[in-house]
């Protein structure tokens, strides 16, 4: 974890993540000032999710054609160039500029959909196997800390400056991220011509590796449930359950992320223990998440709601770090990047659908019913994980993997 390349990776990611937050803050303000339309604001998450889904499906074509480091550096570089163009447009926009903003959002989302799985696949090349759990926990702590600090900082900057300034600040952050990412040293990846086999290779790998297949199945179910934490549902929860002002939506989100940061620190401190009892921590974490979300959805006590939101972040983050570690242990770097691309595509599409589903349940029934439904889904994931415990532990997987390793797509 102390090598220079890993340091450059997390510093580059930190600047990129902070830039992503400022980018969203600036775009929301820009779109609203240009259009005054809630519809255009809703297009921001919709366009982002859809185009990330598309690029995740096509990412294996790029992964097979170019080395991983080149992909992540070039994607960050092109994001910087696109934002420079956007900044120039802002200076001299016309009445139809809102369409251009949507165009830039789509292009940047396409780049993000490719860069995300590649970034996750670089960690095994930079960190020894015995230190990967700590490394993943450390990266998650950095990411969640930036989320906690970045949104209020972005709001302060928006109040004191304007959207144009924030866009240009994001350009600087992206440029710094590109410089640090370019300093990462990894072995040269073998490249191959891209074709239809590249697109389906990630899906084939998932089918052939029981541990990863089980993890993605669990994550599919929990993603359906996780949309209860989106602003639309929490806003109604604060109004109906807590009967407090909208500022409590921010308090709850902050508590949630604080819990995730604390969880990352636990992973770093007790990495060996988590590795020893991976199956237990996944299944128990799912049971705990189901219980916490049920209690959160029924309470009307503000302080208890904050505590439960914080506690909910603990098993979520621990489970995410364990998932990442298991993915890294059961696939080569190229295959890992493709698997992450498939995972991203599935999660993006599932999340988009679950937002609509849980929004419908909240409007048709009540916000309490929504949380009860979410809790039930996570409990079903717990039952499934218990049934597939051998796959999570890896007892059967390792033998199967070794016997099929020659057939796995690279």
Q: What is the pLDDT of residues 161-219, one digit of tens each?
A: 887 888 899 999 999 999 998 888 876 655 555 566 666 777 888 888 888 888 889 98
Task: Fill in the DSSP letter of residue 190.
Answer: P
CA–CA distance from 350 to each of 86, 205, 220, 347, 354 (Å)? 30, 20, 7, 5, 6
Q: What pLDDT score does 145 carry?
A: 85
Give CA 271 to chain center in angstroms.
21
Q: What pLDDT score does 409 carry?
A: 39
Region 304-309 average pLDDT? 93
* Three-state helix/strand/coil letters over 245-277: CCHHHHHHHHHHHHHHHHHHHHHHHCHHHHHHC
For residue 64, pLDDT beyond 80: no
For residue 254, pLDDT beyond 90: no
Long-range contacts of 273-276 (CB under 8 A, 24+ apart): 274/133, 274/318, 274/321, 274/322, 275/133, 275/325
Q: Which helix (H) or strand (E) holds 279?
A: helix 278-298
Query: Which pLDDT band holds residue 270 (cuts at 50, 70, 90)?
Result: confident
Q: What pLDDT score does 382 carry?
A: 94
Q: What pLDDT score does 396 carry?
A: 44
pLDDT > 70 in the chain, percent = 87
Query: Which pLDDT band holds residue 97 (cuts at 50, 70, 90)?
Result: low
pLDDT in tens, 26-36: 887 777 777 77
Q: What pLDDT score does 400 carry?
A: 42
CA–CA distance from 218 to each of 112, 221, 328, 381 (Å)? 24, 5, 17, 6
| Lowest-pLDDT choice from 33-37, 125-129, 403-407 | 403-407
For residue 22, pLDDT beyond 50: yes
For residue 93, pLDDT beyond 80: no
Return d(Cα 243, Cα 220) in angstroms, integer. Answer: 32
Q: What pLDDT score does 121 carry?
A: 77
How would DSSP label each residue in 101-122?
Answer: HHHHHHHHHHHHHHHHHHHHHH
Q: Name which of 253, 249, 230, 251 is nearest 238 in CA terms.
A: 249
pLDDT in tens, 100-114: 777 888 888 888 878
Return d(Cα 142, Cα 147) in angstroms, integer. Answer: 9
Residue 259 CB contacts under 8 Å (≥ 6 apart), including other chains: 309, 310, 311, 312, 313, 314, 316, 317
For residue 77, pLDDT beyond 80: yes
């Amino acid at each position: 974890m102390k090598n220079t390349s890993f340091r450059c990776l997390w510093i580059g990611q930190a600047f990129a993540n902070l830039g992503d937050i400022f980018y969203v803050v600036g775009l929301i303000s820009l779109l609203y000032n240009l259009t005054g339309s809630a519809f255009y604001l809703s297009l921001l998450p919709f366009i982002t999710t859809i185009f990330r889904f598309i690029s995740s499906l096509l990412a294996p074509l790029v992964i097979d054609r170019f080395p991983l480091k080149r992909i992540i550096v070039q994607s960050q570089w092109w994001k910087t160039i696109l934002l420079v163009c956007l900044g120039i447009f802002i200076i001299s926009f016309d009445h139809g500029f809102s369409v251009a903003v949507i165009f830039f959002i789509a292009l940047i989302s396409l780049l993000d959909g490719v860069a995300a799985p590649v970034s996750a696949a670089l960690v095994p090349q930079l960190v020894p196997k015995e230190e990967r759990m700590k490394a993943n926990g450390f990266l998650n702590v950095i990411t969640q800390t930036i989320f906690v600090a970045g949104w209020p900082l972005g709001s302060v900057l928006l109040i004191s400056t304007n959207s144009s300034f924030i866009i240009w600040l994001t350009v600087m952050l992206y440029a710094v991220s590109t410089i640090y990412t370019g300093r990462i040293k990894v072995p040269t990846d073998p490249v191959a011509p891209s074709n239809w086999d590249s697109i389906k290779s990630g899906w084939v790998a998932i089918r052939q590796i029981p541990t990863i297949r089980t993890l993605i199945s669990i994550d599919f179910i929990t993603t359906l449930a996780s949309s209860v934490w989106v602003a639309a549902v929490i806003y109604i929860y604060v109004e109906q359950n807590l009967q407090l002002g909208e500022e409590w939506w921010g308090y709850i989100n902050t508590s949630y992320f604080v819990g995730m940061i604390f969880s990352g620190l636990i992973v770093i401190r007790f990495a060996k223990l988590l590795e020893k009892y991976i199956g237990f921590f996944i299944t128990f974490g799912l049971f705990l998440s189901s219980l916490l979300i049920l209690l959160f959805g029924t309470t009307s006590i503000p302080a208890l709601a904050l505590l439960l939101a914080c506690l909910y972040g603990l098993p979520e983050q621990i489970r995410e770090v364990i998932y990442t570690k298991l993915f890294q242990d059961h696939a080569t770097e190229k295959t890992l990047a493709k698997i992450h691309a498939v995972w991203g595509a599935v999660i993006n599409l599932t999340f988009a659908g679950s937002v609509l589903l849980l929004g419908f349940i909240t409007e048709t029934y009540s916000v309490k019913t929504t949380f009860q439904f979410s809790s039930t889904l996570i409990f079903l994931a717990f039952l499934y994980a218990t049934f597939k415990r051998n796959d999570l532990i890896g007892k059967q997987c390792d033998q199967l993997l070794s016997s099929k390793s020659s057939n796995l797509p690279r």
